[in-house]
A and B are shown apart, each in its own frame.
Chain A
Amino acid sequence: MKSLFVIFLILSTSLIWKNSGDKIFSITWPEKTYDYSVNPRSDSKIQLGRALFYDPILSKDNSISCSSCHLQATGFTHVDHDLSHGIDGRIGTRNSMALMNLAWSTSFMWDGGVPALDRQTIAPITDHNEMDEDLKKVLKKLNKLPRYRKAFLEAFGAEEATTQNLLFAISQFELELISNNSKYDKYLRGEAQFNEQEQNGLQLFRNNCASCHTEPLFTSHKFENNGLPLDPTLMDYGRKKITNLAEDAQKFKVPTLRNIKHTYPYMHDGRFSKLREVLDHYTDNIERSSTLSPQLKKAIKLSSNEKADIIAFLFTLTDDDFLFNPKFGYPREFFSKE
């Protein structure tokens, strides 16, 4: 009986996973985790949040905005340097993160230190290495501007910006940043074909990577140690800083791989600038520390061609409708009024 079941399992999985160009409908999107009941979706909130996201008014010297580190065309991360830069050119300790499909996330930041999207924005506004501005001062600045008074009134029924409403508005914009129209998505829906290399890449990916970079979001939302040696100049132990537990040392949140072609450099400290280096890491340079994730204990073996195939597959995760969606861009109209 048991063996029959196993055979059935193998058969059924191979049926699903074997992708001979057939349509594959087996991957469904999970429910969103964001609780809209406390912050119901509305267009006026989304537009206000979008304006705030692009407005350097949120920083002390009015020099940088969220979008300085989270650029749309690069999957809402920034690509020119490994560690993010804040005002006065101060260097942060981590690589910026790509922002997409946040409505499904269960925690935020590389170490998951922020438990709710609505609370995330507080960090860049008040972190000394980022925007270095006090929330109260931000509210004061916003409340002086008629265009924001009007926008807050429209969105929340009150002209005066409060911490709560400021955070709710930015969340609303971020929640709109959904990437689900890549070639991969079209392939799953039967609207596009994969070539042989991409198909082979998908297969290899599912065998070696998908336990952490789980479809369709390409993250399990868990914390894992993927074998990166500790950078002695940063001494960043990741999740351990939050939980104070030795077993969490060097664990980081599994990042999504959607739009990965454009979101370099890679890893929490931006140590790799090319996907090839990432793959070389997984095959050759895994550090065997005590917290290494079990999936990586057995060495991953990939030939040079197979690596190229995986990369070809990863390129199918590029979603131009997302990267160039004018709804997510700089809100020229909002800022040109007055």
Chain B
Amino acid sequence: MRILLFFLVLANQTFSQEKAELNFTFLFQGDSLQENTWYITKKGDSLKFETIRFFVSVPPKNEVSADAAHLVDWSKPETHNWSVPLNEKRELVITYGLEPLYHTASVMEGDLDPSLGMYWAWQSGYIHLKIEGESPSANTRNNKFQYHLGGYLDPFSVDKTINFGQIYESNVQIKIDLWDVFRLVNVKKENEIMIPGKQAVRMMKKMINGFVLLGAY
């Protein structure tokens, strides 16, 4: 009995070590991304960033738990680190965005609180990725560009779950280089996406290219 208990404790301990500490850094062409600064994209658009927020989460099995989702906010450095459990095979599996169950379950605590400005009330569902700012290329009111990318219903769901494979170091860096995020984006043509649909799916595919896991270090 005592031996069993010992093993249980041991197993529990090793399990608790099997976590990855994710760290998110925001860059532009490799340099730290600054507020109130103009940047020029590959397509030639001048941009100034105001908001960059997105969800990362662990894909739910049957149940949703609020700890399994995390909202990363460029303007809040304390959100740039997040500790994620690895799966049974020691693999790091995370979702950029939130899988459908997060949108339909009744868990609305923590970062899943709909009052945090990442929720569409009128048609319901979380916004997975929100990027806003200013650009003379955007022919809109006050030259604002706004990408609110979301949607959880097939075939227009934009969440992207990635298995990064086995991880042996606990510190994992994910860099978000806005140069790469906007590499394929033409701000003159597409500067406001506020609803789920084809356009949002296409934009998410383009932007997610800028999210790169640097690997364990």
Contact = CB atoms under 8 A, between A and B. Distances in A.
Given A113-B123, A123-B124, A163 B107 contact: no
A135 B114 contact: yes
B60 interface: no
B34 interface: no
A167 interface: yes
A39 interface: yes
A291 interface: no
Interface stretch (B51-59, B98-106, B130-138): B98-106
Contacts of B210: none
Contact of A243 (B109, B119, B121, B153): B153
Nearest to A120: B124
A135 B121 CA distance: 11
Interface in A263-291: none
A39 B109 CA distance: 13
B150 interface: no
A92 to B, nearest CB: 11
B115 A113 contact: no
A242 B153 contact: yes
Nearest to A128: B122
B153 A123 contact: no
A105 interface: no
A116 B106 contact: yes
Contact of A164 (B108, B121, B197): B108
Interface string A215-253: 000000000000000000000000001111000000000
Interface string A26-39: 00000000010011
B156 A244 contact: yes
Contact of B106 (A35, A125, A126, A242): A35
Given A119-B114, A122-B114, A135-B115, A164 B109 contact: yes
Contacts of A162: 109, 113
A136 B113 CA distance: 10
A241 B123 contact: yes
A139 interface: yes
Given A162-B113, A163-B114, A119 B153 contact: no
A134 B103 CA distance: 20
A168 B108 CA distance: 10
Interface in A115-149: 115-116, 118-119, 122-123, 125-127, 134-136, 139
Given A126-B121, A127-B122, A136 B153 contact: no
Contacts of A164: 107-109, 113
Interface in B145-202: 153, 156, 196-198
Contacts of B124: 113-115, 119, 122-123
Given A113-B124, A241-B123, A244-B198, A119 B113 contact: no
Contacts of B115: 134-136, 139, 163
A116 B105 contact: yes
Given A162-B113, A244-B198, A118 B122 contact: no
Given A38-B107, A116-B105, A126-B121, 6 more contacts: A123-B124, A167-B106, A168-B106, A241-B123, A242-B123, A244-B197
7 contacts: A113-B123, A122-B114, A122-B121, A126-B121, A162-B109, A243-B153, A244-B156
